[in-house]
Chains A and B, each alone.
Chain A
Amino acid sequence: AQTVTQSQPEMSVQEAETVTLSCTYDTSENNYYLFWYKQPPSRQMILVIRQEAYKQQNATENRFSVNFQKAAKSFSLKISDSQLGDTAMYFCAFMKDNAGNMLTFGGGTRLMVKP
């Protein structure tokens, strides 16, 4: 079974600064997908960014980027130019390739962006 670990229960960052959220996972699979989801106070889950394990290039979506280290089984999220609207819970998630499409989630990191 796959496990996803987020070792930082809570983090804070000043507005306009950069913050990195950590995620590690455990799997014996070679092909898989990794995701970061954001859950703001409204509790609506929003997909932030995704990464295919077979791609070496790190994914980027505007101010959000990842550092994917396949050998280390690490998948961190970097938020640049943090904004107040980035305040939310962030969940890292794992999906095996061709295996029922289930997402396995980490325990989450609560991020507070301070003005």
Chain B
Amino acid sequence: DGGITQSPKYLFRKEGQNVTLSCEQNLNHDAMYWYRQDPGQGLRLIYYSQIVNDFQKGDIAEGYSVSREKKESFPLTVTSAQKNPTAFYLCASSPEQGAYYGYTFGSGTRLTVV
């Protein structure tokens, strides 16, 4: 079955550490997105990529980095520069032509700073 896989489901980070969240899709979608979800604030866009080797900052990109070396993969690194990283992170994808049919989402990663 086609879909998006996010791993790990739960992730704990120590102060000052970088951590990488994985997002893999087998839907042959061109575009991929990372959102952060905090209580009461809905989903906010961190980064997005519409094509391999290209990506753009979203509304809250500071303290995060991404790469898009393969169409299937769009990992997100939460760097030590992100001062409040505890949140739920959602990855999504869509076809470049047809995103207006909606995104497909992964099941999310819960990141906690310890």
Cβ-neighbour of A102 out of B45, B88, B90, B108 (below 8 A): B45
The verdict on B17 contacting chain A, using a C-beta distance below 8 Å, is no
> Are B99 and A91 touching (Cβ within 8 A)?
no
The verdict on A42 contacting chain B, using a C-beta distance below 8 Å, is yes
Q: Write out the residue numbers on chain A whose beta carbons fall within 8 Å of the beta carbon of B90.
A: 45
Chain A nearest Cβ from B99, distance in angstroms: 3
Q: Write out the residue numbers on chain A whose beta carbons fall within 8 Å of the beta carbon of B42.
A: 4, 6, 91, 105-108
> Are B41 and A43 touching (Cβ within 8 A)?
no
> Are A100 and B56 touching (Cβ within 8 A)?
yes
Q: In whole angstroms, what is the CA distance A44 to B40 when docked?
A: 17
With A101-B31, A101-B100 already in contact, the answer to whether A107 and B41 are too (CB < 8 A) is yes
Cβ-neighbour of B102 out of A4, A35, A104 (below 8 A): A35
Cβ-neighbour of A44 out of B41, B102, B103, B107 (below 8 A): B107
Q: Which residue of B lies closest to A48 (CB)?
A: B102
Most buried by A among B45, B50, B102, B105: B102
With A100-B50, A105-B43, A107-B40 already in contact, the answer to whether A43 and B88 are too (CB < 8 A) is yes
Q: Which residues from chain B sit less than 8 Å from chain A, CB to CB?
A: 31, 33, 35, 40-45, 48, 50, 56, 58, 88, 90, 92, 94, 96, 99-103, 105, 107-108
Q: Which residues from chain A sit less than 8 Å from chain B, CB to CB?
A: 4, 6, 9, 33, 35, 37, 42-45, 47, 50, 52, 91, 95, 97, 100-108
* Beyond known contacts A43-B88, A103-B92, A107-B41: 4 more, CB 8 A cutoff: A4-B42, A101-B31, A101-B50, A106-B42
